[in-house]
Chain A
Amino acid sequence: MKKCIACGMPMKSPEDYPLGDTTKNYCKYCAKPDGSMQNYEEKLTSMTEFVVKTQGLDRQVAEESAAYMLSKLPAWKKERS
């Protein structure tokens, strides 16, 4: 089972992939509407918003945590500090 290179989510079935395209290495949550992968800034923003929405954290804390989570994923090697 592949894991999304951009957020780490396991991709079990075609519906987990962008536009059902199982050749992609990223999941539907990390894709733009046209199926291409979000860039780092877009992913950082969407993950920060998700953490704020679901855990109610302070936005700056959420953004620092999102940046830390992304730094551990293969898609964002260049952004690693």
Chain B
Amino acid sequence: MKKREQQRQQTRATILSAAEHIYASNGFVQSSTQLIAKEAGVAHGTVFLHFQSQEKLILAVINVLGTDITTRIHESAKQSHSLADVLRTHLTAIEIHESIYSHLIMDMPQLPKEAQQTVIGIQSIIAHHFDQVLNQLKKEKQMKDLPISFIFNTWIGLIHYYLTNCGLFAPHGSVLAIYKDELILNFLKLLEVDKS
């Protein structure tokens, strides 16, 4: 690779990393590209040389976040594939990015349509792993017969409720660090078939 291309890629990665940091701190809507340029140590115009618009920069950041979360779930599916494993891997992946993920879901209604569609794509990959384990559990009659969309949306809704109200649940730290085990345990209990 030529030196100029290496430098170009390095600058792009630096801007992306700075944007992730700024969005994680201030949210997607409140953060200006000036602030991101300052954080990255580049001229304001350089941001647009690499990402054309603020919208494209936001999409690139969401894609990086989504790729990391879904790759962790894919990798985990390699070793084991119980529902508890899928739930734990999902929450652990979100916990790693808790701040930026929380801002993403809170800012979502104000973000461009493509951002919402990208998030639906990320959720689709997670839902694929849900679908696989839930089908197996349903076949074995180990789980209540509920539509997958209801189970998936209940799980997502539960996580998002805790994250968007983090000030109520964990004002001084990570919500998921505190509630992860409890959420997984009780969600599994909700789905279990009553054998008594």
Binding site for B on A (CB under 8 A): 8-10, 12, 47, 50-57, 62, 64-65, 68-69
Can you list 27 contacts pairing A with B, beta carbon distance less than 8 Å?
A8-B125, A10-B71, A10-B74, A12-B78, A47-B124, A50-B131, A51-B124, A52-B149, A53-B131, A53-B149, A54-B130, A54-B148, A54-B149, A55-B124, A55-B127, A55-B149, A56-B149, A57-B120, A65-B117, A65-B120, A65-B121, A68-B117, A68-B118, A68-B121, A69-B117, A69-B120, A69-B124
Chain A contact residues, majority secondary structure: helix
Look across to chain B and name the residue whose beta carbon is closest to the beta carbon of A56: B149
Binding site for A on B (CB under 8 A): 71, 74, 78, 114, 116-118, 120-121, 123-125, 127-128, 130-131, 147-150, 152-153
Chain B contact residues, majority secondary structure: helix
| A64–B127 CB distance below 8 A | no
State A56–B127 Cα separation when bound (angstroms). 11
| B78–A56 CB distance below 8 A | no
Q: Which of B74, B114, B123, B125 contacts A68 (CB 8 A)?
A: B114
Q: Which of A12, A50, A64 contacts B124 (CB 8 A)?
A: A50
Q: Which 3 A-B pairs have the closest CB atoms?
A: A56-B149, A54-B127, A68-B117
Look across to chain B and name the residue whose beta carbon is closest to the beta carbon of A57: B120
State A53–B124 Cα separation when bound (angstroms). 10
